Amino acid sequence: MIQINNDLQPTDFSTKLSRFWELSAQKIRLIDQQYDTAKGSPVFTVQGQYTTRGWTEWTQGFQYGSAILQFDATGDPYFLDMGRKKTVEVMAPHVSHIGVHDHGFNNVSTYGNLLRLMMEGKLPFNEQERNFYELALKISGAVQASRWTAIKNNQNTDAGFIHSFNGPHSLFVDTIRSCRALVLSHSLGHVFQAEGDARISLLERAILHMKATADYSIFYGEGRDTYDLWGRTAHESVFNVKDGNFRCPNSQQGYSGFTTWTRGLAWAMCGFPEELEYLATLDDRELEPLGGRERIEAFLLKAARATCDFYIEYTPTNGIPYWDTGAPNLHKLGDYLDRPADPYNEHEPVDSSAAAIGAQGLLRLGRYLTEKGEAEAGQRYWQAGLTVLHALFDEPYLSTDPSHQGLILHSIYHRPNGWDYVPTGSKIPYGESSMWGDYHAREVALYLQRISKGEPYYAFFSGISTHRNA
């Protein structure tokens, strides 16, 4: 269980953050200078050098989004120029990509960040440039919403989800973060149109997907199955596409459908609180036809609390998790939850990328609850998030080797498939980085830096959600 440090304050991280952004700049430049783009998008490192892995191009937005975040944090124009240039040159195919569930990863990280910076006043206002970013985000949200599977629910009301690249039967917990693409498109005034010019609300599709994720990807200790624990998650939920019924939990990258892959858990921890923050910007009248604010916020908050609670309870004391809470050799580590995680052990790898993602969820949930008047609960999650970052932003997780292209070490991609590099003499992978781990470390570092410096609050919709009605 995480030993929450209640004494940590955001201002305590000033030295860590300065060092973090200095190293981050080195890594981005190193990849820009050395990586062969003919290989495809960089995904994860092998012996410190970024390489690719053919699945889908789901990490390219993280690569160029990292440069944009670096500019946001430091003001260095080199990184803004890179982010702008590469977004225009290479990201268009991601906007119209009908075959993936990753629009929130690729397009919100690039077009979304650039539009956010302009609307926050950190970029000079240019109407044509703004229109370019807005058009990309409008289309991205609609294309993402088109990957739709209708399902049954107990209330006999509309239900469904954005299906994964596995097919229409497959709901991934990851996709909660692609709801950002839908709600940004909605906030920019866009409507998804289908056959016969049928107008489909992007906000409605986003909320229905969030509800399906909360209902089927998250467990609440309410007797769903033998392995039902408060806050446990399933990576994939499988449905019968002929009758719309739920069939079973499954996992692609975790150990099994009945164990908790910690990166999937982290996606949920981050996704639900940030959507709660977004919904707070909407008028009640927009939510009334979709079930009303009270009902929607209730299931989002329940999922956010549950997943964050599970993370706190089933993560080692320093806040860095192992790759799956049911990994088959964890028992060989003894009382591993009662001490800091050991990335160099002989039995099971840690996954620092889950920590980078999950920490942001803990912080956002903590702040959300505090602002809602739940100070004690909010403080618990907030301090847990700071505790995770206290470990993550230091060695052995922060990469200080000037020849290593990764920023955050000990990330895991696909343990079941054996895709991660195992050093000679070791039984497990360690010492490598991932593009999503590095990007989300930068995201949460920017979040914390803005808090510590009293700067405008960082959210994916900052300056955008109000633009349509401005």
* Domain-located, residue 4: no
Q: Residue 75 belongs to what domain range?
A: 10-469
Furthest C-alpha separation in the chain: 62
For 3, how many CA atoms within 13 A lie in the half-sphere containing its CB? Answer: 8
Distance of CA 398 to the CA centre of its chain: 19
* Domain-located, residue 191: yes
Residue pair 362/445 in contact by the 8 Å Cβ criterion: no
pLDDT at 469 over 50: no
Query: pLDDT per residue over 159-209, tens digit each?
Result: 999 999 999 999 999 999 999 999 999 999 999 999 999 999 999 999 999
Query: pLDDT per residue over 36-75, tens digit each?
Result: 988 889 999 999 999 998 778 899 999 999 999 999 999 9
Instruction: Report the pLDDT value the prediction gives residue 157, as an integer from 0 to 100.
Output: 75
* Domain-located, residue 5: no
* Domain-located, residue 1: no
pLDDT at 289 over 50: yes
Instruction: Report the pLDDT value the prediction gives residue 224, as an integer from 0 to 100.
Output: 87
Instruction: Report the pLDDT value the prediction gives residue 152, as an integer from 0 to 100.
Output: 87
pLDDT at 96 over 70: yes
* Domain-located, residue 363: yes
pLDDT at 467 over 50: no
- Alpha-carbon distance of 37 to 60, in angstroms, equals 10
What does each C-alpha distance from 259 to 226, 236, 361, 427 come to in angstroms? 11, 11, 21, 22
- Residue 370 sits in a domain whose CATH number is 1.50.10.10
pLDDT at 403 over 90: yes
DSSP 53: -
Distance of CA 95 to the CA centre of its chain: 18
Angle (CA) 60 181 239, round 5°: 95
* Domain-located, residue 331: yes
pLDDT at 351 over 60: yes
Q: Which residues pair with 324 in a beta bridge?
A: 261
- Alpha-carbon distance of 438 to 392, in angstroms, equals 11
DSSP per-residue string spanning 335-364: SGGGS---TT-SS--B-HHHHHHHHHHHHH
* Domain-located, residue 336: yes
Please report where in the chains the tokens 């192992």 appear, as a residue: 322
Backbone angles phi, psi at 324, to 5 degrees: -150, 135
By three-state DSSP, how is residue 39 classified?
A: helix
Query: pLDDT per residue over 67-87, tens digit each?
Result: 999 999 999 999 999 999 999
Tokens (6 digits) for 400: 């200080």
By three-state DSSP, how is residue 460 classified?
A: coil
Instruction: Report the pLDDT value the prediction gives residue 38, as an integer from 0 to 100.
Output: 87
Query: pLDDT per residue over 206-248, tens digit each?
Result: 999 999 999 999 999 999 888 899 999 999 999 999 999 999 9
Instruction: Report the pLDDT value the prediction gives residue 465, as an integer from 0 to 100.
Output: 65
Instruction: Report the pLDDT value the prediction gives residue 57, as an integer from 0 to 100.
Output: 86
* Domain-located, residue 29: yes
Crossing angle of helices 375-392/352-371, nearest 10°? 150
Please report where in the chains the tokens 């959300």 appear, as a residue: 368
Domain count, the chain: 1
Instruction: Report the pLDDT value the prediction gives residue 156, as an integer from 0 to 100.
Output: 63
Section 296-308 average pLDDT: 98
Mean residue pLDDT of the chain comes to: 96
Section 348-352 average pLDDT: 98
Q: Cis peptide leading into 423, omega within 30 of 0?
A: no
Residue pair 94/139 in contact by the 8 Å Cβ criterion: no
The amino acid present at 451, given as its one-letter code, is: I
Instruction: Report the pLDDT value the prediction gives residue 270, as an integer from 0 to 100.
Output: 98
pLDDT at 100 over 60: yes
Burial pattern 281-301, b for ≥16 Cβ within 10 A else e, equals: ebeeeebeebbebeebbebbb
Q: From edge to edge, which strands make up the β-sheet containing 246-250?
A: 170-172, 236-239, 246-250
Verdict on whether the full-model pTM lies above 0.95:
yes
Instruction: Report the pLDDT value the prediction gives residue 353, as an integer from 0 to 100.
Output: 98
